[in-house]
Amino acid sequence: MSAAPKPEILAAFEAAKGFMPAAEGLALYAAAVEAGGLGLPLLEVGTYCGRSTILLADAAREAGTVAVTVDHHRGSEEQQPGWDYHDPELVDPDAGRMDTLPAFRRTLHAAGLEDHVIAVVGRSPQVAKVWGRPVGLVFVDGGHTDEHAVNDYEGWAPHVAEGGLLAIHDVFPDPVDEWTGQAPYRIYLRALASGAFTEVAATGSLRVLRRTGGRV
């Protein structure tokens, strides 16, 4: 997993709103490039404003496939008013609620990647129930409660093709280091315990696991 994005893609990633550090972004990009070799879609759960979507979309473009990103665009728990990760610029003044969709579209437009992304606006469990094909990569970066993380894992991990990759963000084994809860860490442990996945890379809080067969 040594592939690196072009300078203009990395610049677009760094300019976009979001929380993923550059080192973790580079690791995600390398995983996406590898998974793109399967010729299957690359799927992301948790879009926010499209920072990580840029990397998946560019990897998909290079592989001749497509990136799919799933989000209701109303913000996760830690992005609501009163929380440290709330951005008042992302509040829809008419609805009085978070709406990250316009910022996401601007992000893709600025990066020149609109034609390589399918944006699904909806809640992850509902979309997963109607999804009907395998994917080369699932990147889980949605809500950080146990309910949401478990729903994302149970809904999407079974769709990872054999040889494909499951990437999980914000995995903090030490409670001292976590910032939104250890739900991602718990689904990471569950994936390993299932016997269906083997860890292949770890960068910061990003874990990448390969589907090696068996039931999730």
What phi, psi does 134 have (nearest 5°)? -70, 160
Single-letter code of the amino acid located at 101: L
Q: What tokens appear for 181 in the block?
A: 């809860």
| Among 144, 148, 159, 169, the one annotated catalytic | 144
Instruction: Give the integer Cα–Cα distance in Å for 195 and 83.
Output: 37
Q: What tokens appear for 122 in the block?
A: 């909806």
Residue whose C-alpha is closest to residue 22's, from 33, 9, 32: 9
Is residue 199 classed as helix, strand or coil in its secondary structure?
strand
144 in catalytic set? yes
Give the C-alpha distances (Å, rounded to integers) separating 158 from 3, 23, 164, 194. Answer: 26, 28, 11, 11
- Check if the beta carbon of residue 68 is closer than 8 Å to that of residue 36: no
Q: What tokens appear for 127 in the block?
A: 């979309």
Instruction: Give the integer Cα–Cα distance in Å for 14 and 189.
Output: 30
Quick one: DSSP state of residue 203?
Answer: E
The catalytic site residues sit at 144
